[in-house]
Structure 1
Amino acid sequence: MSLIVADLRHTRLASVNPVAKLAAAMVLSVTLLLSIDPVSAGVTLVLTLALLPWTGLTARAIWVRMWPITVGAGIAAVATVLYGRPSGQMYLEWGILRISDGSIDLALSIFLRVLAIALPSVILFATTDPTDLADGLAQIVRLPARFVIGALAGLRLVGLLIEDWRELSLARRARGVADTGRVRRFAGQAFALFVLAIRRGTKLATAMEARGFGAGVERTWARPSVLRWRDAGLVAIAIGIAAASVIAAIAAGTWRFILGL
């Protein structure tokens, strides 16, 4: 997994400003949230997949991050088929189970919509370094530096929490207290991790305060974050994909504005 992350940092998208990636992802997401129809989501998904070779990402790297979302979207689609609002021709009706044209269409729309929103975000942010994102949010978006740096420090600790969980499991197993009672073992280990996280967070906050991270003066930055033409190009591509999906849905007569449902 670490090798995959290291490889992603050297792809073409890695040089794009994270703020531009965030803007592109928001353009696509907001557009898809305006309507629940399979055409707009399908067009966005197809165009995103068509641009995948240009990004330099491998199919394996994408699948490692997308399979939980795909499984969740599939479960949501199956539930919608079985319990969705019936309309059109009814194929099966048994108790609360109702499968109709309307439920199938809605399930397909939800499935494609989830994938179409998740895939561009995964592609864009898989190549984003958290420090670069924090620099962009503070320098370009002008978010409070104290909030941004605090969030970055907390994000950096996620990997340590995973390692702490593994070490706690090994330590408890070595002491012979992790052989039985899975629920009790999980609760005790989760509480121990919670206490450990609070202690580490307190020490980190004290260290950052001592180094002047919370000072009220204007902050300087070691790495300037600027927008370039390639960043504007990425946002333009996102706008083009969003426009194409809306036009295709309207032309097919499937566009359903959510406020009009």
Structure 2
Amino acid sequence: MSDPSDLAVQPSAAPPRPLRQAVVLAGGLATRMYPRTRQIPKFLLPVAGRPFGHHLLARLAGAGYDEIVLCIGHLGDAIRQDIGDGRAFGLEVRYADEGEARLGTAGALRGALSLLAPVLLVTYGDSYLPFDYAAPLVDLLAHPEALGTMAVYRNADLLDASNCEVSGERVVRYEKRRVDERRDPGLDHIDYGAIALRREVIAALPEGPGDLAVVQRDLARAGRLRALPVTTRFYEIGSEAGYRDLEAHLEDAREEGAR
């Protein structure tokens, strides 16, 4: 006779978590950081005792990312040699190399199309963001009506020229401005440097050079770009002032952790 316990309904296994993929745009010339970047790509500039890219990949791994697509170009071989397949960071790293083509941010993404997951995070190879890098991706997956989720920071032209108008849960306007242009009170947020996108957005782009800012502008105009507010300032190494700020931030964090 069968044991009644054999007839009990067994709980079904939880569905596997979707692959988390981040695309890091790291192919620029970084002329604003000359002479530091004449021989070293910005992604590998030493910051607080480690190449910048090591800090960034550690943050992405800590946020649960499985796979990284590194879009490289100028001095890209140095990045390949240093990062390798990513196993040292607990990641799988793949490469999309534009060489010296200068495709721009959207062009680099379009060139990486064959490597892209259905939903992916895009961030920059010179941005260090002290927030949960998984949050934009999780938000987009929870809102099938949207095509993108952008992390935004209420900046009011403090750290750079603000470029986003936010209403409720959406970015309703995205407009790139120079810091010396007349201030627009409606643009009181700034693109934080991390946006989750559906692959179809990239697939719809023409091949060749292009700017991600145009993609973000069009998604906002169409009402398909969600806003994820972040309250902690961002850091970047695209300028000497930004480089110094990040180094001080990381040194402070290291000292705090040692106490």
Q: Same fold (TM over 0.5)?
A: no
Q: Which has the higher contact order (CA 8 A, sep 6+)?
A: 1
**Bigger Rg, structure 1 or 2:** 1
Q: If each structure's strand is expressed as a fraction of its own residues, which one has the higher value?
A: 2
Q: If each structure's helix is expressed as a fraction of its own residues, which one has the higher value?
A: 1
Q: Where on the TM-score scale, by shorter chain, does this alignment land: which range? A: under 0.3
- TM-score normalised to structure 1 length: 0.27
